[in-house]
Amino acid sequence: MSGFRTEKDSMGQLQVPEDAVYGAQTQRAVDNFPISGITLPAAFIQALGLVKQACANANHRLGGLDENHRRAISSICDDIVGGRLMDQFPLDVFQTGSATSTNMNANEVIANLASKEAGDVVHPNDHVNMSQSSNDVIPTTIHVSAAITCHQQLIPAINHLISTIDNKAASLASVIKTGRTHLMDAMPVSLGQELSGWSAQLQTSLRQIENTLPEIHQLAIGATAVGTGINADKDFGGMVAEELSNATGLSFKVASNPFAALSAQDAAVALSGQLKTLATTLMKISNDLRWMNSGPLAGIGEIALPALQPGSSIMPGKVNPVIPEAMTMVCAQVMGNDLTITIAGQSGNFQLNVMLPVVAHNLLQSIEILSNTSRLLADKAIEGFTVNEENISEALSKNPILVTALNTVIGYELGAKIAKTAYAEGRAVIDVAMDMTDLSRAELEELLDPKKLIG
């Protein structure tokens, strides 16, 4: 067949594209799983390169792999980690539940290219997969990729968002607005106070994510097929964890119980749960921004988000809150991903979880999209929004709920009458209170001073 070459594995021969670096087992998976067209994330494949490199180094240290083979394998792994061979990883996320196909994909790519570099045969199973099983390599790679993306992307992005909110809150500390409960007028708050609540929520979510990461840093490597470590030196897993720690600057170690490490994905489920909590916070912040920005004439109109693009194909001049809207969709996706990961986490049948690829895909997607949109929310929404102080002041002056501040002086019943009259007549509370109480204007101004009402 033109454009193809013949490869063979333990099941026989088949045709592989001439320009493909992978071999027969990868091609079988390409043929078997034409399902979604969604491949495993680049972050996962790059982490798999790191794991394979660490395994080669550990096997060399233990005397199982000669220096020529180690050097060649490590060199090809560098290319995988650098993202230069991504087109050689074509397999669908929806494949065998252990992701054996993806593990063999990596083994074949590395072996074929390393053989040329070494000038000798590098075997995908005997050399690249030495001391390993798909059953410990893939859970290890899920943890390594999640740890790296959390430390390099998510945590810096959330810290940036917190810092942006804190700076904005400080600049708006003196702007007092009508508070809202049940979407109805309530006692006043400052914009700075309102934003401080966002910051506190994010700080809590970030702390919870960071508290979950030590479990992610525990690796299944060394457990091999069922947790007993068959065909691996007893020191192999610890050496691989040490190699990965040196390569990434993170503190990886072998899981305390190898059987749990293979059969369960509890740490991934826990991290996903914290990502869902973060998404809940970001959904609240984004919806607050959308409400505050609503209008410009018929909505709340307290702020104006930066105008980024035309908002309508038919209504000229319309501008929409596109960044908060994008964020709310990201949050919905993360919440759905969490459900998928939770269901996948239940699929640890005896000695192996058999939904590993979908855990990897959903967990890394959640981390990536939360990281990216958090920076966008900071830089393209919160940092640059302007405040419509005229709208805020006018609404605050007519807010009938301000009468709450008079409760201890005039009582609840009279306060309710003043509030209803002020609302019905569209008058300021202070003017109605002048008519319905014996308090002087000076006393009322003192009692109803918004600056004193926000604490």
Both 110 and 29 in a single domain?
Answer: yes
Counting the structural domains of the chain, the total is 3
Both 21 and 76 in a single domain?
Answer: yes
What is the set of active-site residues?
182, 312
**CATH code of the domain in which 413 resides:** 1.10.40.30
> Could you tell me if 103 and 138 are in contact, meaning their C-beta atoms sit under 8 angstroms apart?
yes
**What are 114's two structure tokens?**
């390393």
| pLDDT of 455 over the 90 cut | no
- pLDDT one-digit tens code per residue, 88-108: 999 999 999 999 999 999 999
Both 197 and 333 in a single domain?
Answer: yes
Please, what is the average pLDDT of the chain?
97
Domain span including residue 157: 144-212+259-390
Residue 224 domain-assigned?
A: no
Residue 223: per-residue pLDDT: 98
Both 194 and 294 in a single domain?
Answer: yes
Give the alpha-carbon dihedral of 325, 326, 328, 334, to 10 degrees: 170
**CATH code of the domain in which 107 resides:** 1.10.275.10
Both 345 and 375 in a single domain?
Answer: yes
**CATH code of the domain in which 277 resides:** 1.20.200.10
Residue 436 domain-assigned?
A: yes
Residue 1: per-residue pLDDT: 47
Both 385 and 403 in a single domain?
Answer: no
Both 37 and 70 in a single domain?
Answer: yes
pLDDT band at 397 (very low <50, low <70, confident <90, very high): confident
Both 384 and 415 in a single domain?
Answer: no
The residue from 77, 104, 130 where one domain ends is 130
Whether the bond between 321 and the residue before it is cis, its omega within 30 degrees of 0, is no
> Could you tell me if 33 and 127 are in contact, meaning their C-beta atoms sit under 8 angstroms apart?
no
The residue from 82, 97, 130 where one domain ends is 130
Identify the weakest region by mean pLDDT among 45-59, 209-223, 349-363, 389-403: 389-403
Both 63 and 15 in a single domain?
Answer: yes
- pLDDT one-digit tens code per residue, 246-303: 999 999 999 999 999 999 999 999 999 999 999 999 999 999 999 999 999 999 999 9
Both 186 and 312 in a single domain?
Answer: yes
Residue 398: per-residue pLDDT: 86
3-state secondary structure the chain: CCCEEEEEECCEEEEEECCCCCCHHHHHHHHHCCCCCCECCHHHHHHHHHHHHHHHHHHHHCCCCCHHHHHHHHHHHHHHHCCCCHHHCCCECCCCCCCHHHHHHHHHHHHHHHHHHHCCCCCHHHHHCCCCCHHHHHHHHHHHHHHHHHHHHHHHHHHHHHHHHHHHHHHCCCCEEEEEECCEEEEEEEHHHHHHHHHHHHHHHHHHHHHHHHHHCEECCCCCCCCCCCCCCCCHHHHHHHHHHHHHCCCCEECCCHHHHHHCCHHHHHHHHHHHHHHHHHHHHHHHHHHHHCCCCCCCCCEECCCCCECCCCCCCCECCHHHHHHHHHHHHHHHHHHHHHHHHCCEECCEECCHHHHHHHHHHHHHHHHHHHHHHHHHHHCCCEECHHHHHHHHHCCHHHHHHHHHHHCHHHHHHHHHHHHHHCCCHHHHHHHHCCCCHHHHHHHCCHHHHCC
The residue from 130, 153, 185 where one domain ends is 130
Residue 156 domain-assigned?
A: yes
Both 67 and 11 in a single domain?
Answer: yes
Residue 271 domain-assigned?
A: yes
Residue 245 domain-assigned?
A: no
Residue length of the chain: 455
Residue 2: per-residue pLDDT: 58
Q: Model pTM?
A: 0.96
